[in-house]
Structure 1
Amino acid sequence: MKRFLTFIFSITIAFSVTSCQKWKGEHTDIYTYTPPAANPVSDKQPLSCSGGSSVVPVKGTMLSGKTYNVSAGCDLVINPADTLFLQPGVTLNMGSRSSIIVLGTLVSNGSKNQPNYITAPGMIKNDVPGGVAASADSAYAGHWKGIIGGPNCNLMVLRWTHVEYAGYAEGSATSAIASSGANNQYSILFANYKGNFVMEDSWLYGGVDDPVRVSAGKIAIFRNTFEKNGVHGGDCLNVKGGTTGTMAYNLFIGTATNGQKASNKGQATGAPQTNVVMYNNTFISGGYRQVQSGRGG
């Protein structure tokens, strides 16, 4: 019996060593590893719509260090079976009234040393305290519509990503594609209670109303900075019925109303009740732009 156990022990050790050797050199750190580019997106020409349609289908990989430009009034659409992946160090310049509509998967995988920018070109920040009124501040101009997750968007990830100057009203054409509201002015919308929205180590600058609205979804929102969000109302992180997950270690500066909010309002059929854990968030100088009585932060 002793010989038999010794034999089994030897086989186990040998298998373990072989397994370790098999995995030697594999990429196991998902926070630093960038996979090879699949279907690189060309930066040679602007991403433009034509023929009377606002739709520009997009998928594949936006490459590190490249700058991509979206023409005015065009909607980048990631179709249900498609994925758009942004490597670290990508700049995506959004033209006026343009948008990103996510019906499939969006992953903006910036890094600490190479953050990504989804922004409006040529804008000038006015961040001196008391410098300009909200009506004259570029942060609240709503230059482009925002990142709009449709009801079937299964995954939206923003890591080390700057999202700036969004909040232009969706309009009927964009809302019809995304199955959302024409008057929405959210910088980021996620609306699938079966899907996942992840936002980590990112920055959201400016915005008109509820810069992040989660109508339903599984969320993980950690270590982000939300600055100058909302003109005269709106909450930075406003999650509704069917949202579950965590908001933690976020910084809110100069918000129109509250920094974060959760409710069961608008719960979709079949969706769970809202259950969101919030802790260790920091709020600075919020609530003073809210115009409705009793609604200050």
Structure 2
Amino acid sequence: MHFAVSGVDCPIWLPPLVAFVVSFFTSMGGVSGAFLLLPFQMSFLGFTSPAVSPTNLVYNIVSIPSGVWRYLREGRMVWPLTWVVILGTLPGVVAGGFIRLAWLPDPGPFKVFVACVLLYIGARMFWDLAKGRRKAKEPLLEGQPALCVVEHCRITSRSLCFTYAGREYACSTPMIFFLSLAVGMVGGVYGIGGGSIVAPFFVAVCGLPVHAVAGAALMGTFVTSVVGVAFYQAIAPLYSGQMAVAPDWLLGALFGLGGLGGMYCGARLQKRVKPIYIKVMLGLILLGTAAKYLVGYFMN
């Protein structure tokens, strides 16, 4: 099948299949999987124009609601955390869109940027794993029964608190906001919504349980993806005849349909899977992809 906007030629079943497999695993950690689908589109499908970023965000819009709905149904949505993430990432994603078009329209430098983002995420995941090993004596929340729900959410200008599985957790509200602002900028450039960066940060740096923050990270990614797609679509006429900026809606929707099923299944099975297996696999994929981009760029 030929996709006119992106110029991609591939079987119609390939995007949904890839998206289902990717999102099934990544959604367990509060990540949509867009950070892996973008390298797939650039390297395997040959989609390298700036339009690949909003196309990736279309995938988020279509696929994320099923995962969010599952977390809501199970009472595992930290709403104060969700709103702080959204307020921070919204202005950041617009700024990131301008950065993408002004300074990173060429696929070469953009791949270096992508590699740096992937290196950070992969390194953060392995750091989280190493940190978890050193704290092996602490009670683990992974694999708790379905009765574990988020309760007693409180937020002030200084801190955000909630209770999960009988334990109280807290983090700094300003830190979450400014982190989300920075993540929004990166997400706007990369076309990932930012969840793949902010979710590992919540777990590794803030010490929050992955089973409780996954829904908030996905919800924040969904809202910022909507804004990001609207931004790219609105400014597309300004670049008419120069480069493709508007998303490839059909290709993004096909990825999204696969992600819709994958995220629901991943969110449903999350509590039954040990995060260490998912993080190791994702970390290896991230570092391998980043190394390929960097070596390819500097060897040319």
Instruction: State the TM bucket, normalised to the shorter chain.
Output: under 0.3
TM-score by length of 1: 0.23
Q: Which has the higher strand share?
A: 1
Task: State the structure with more CA Rg.
Answer: 1
Q: Which has the higher helix share?
A: 2
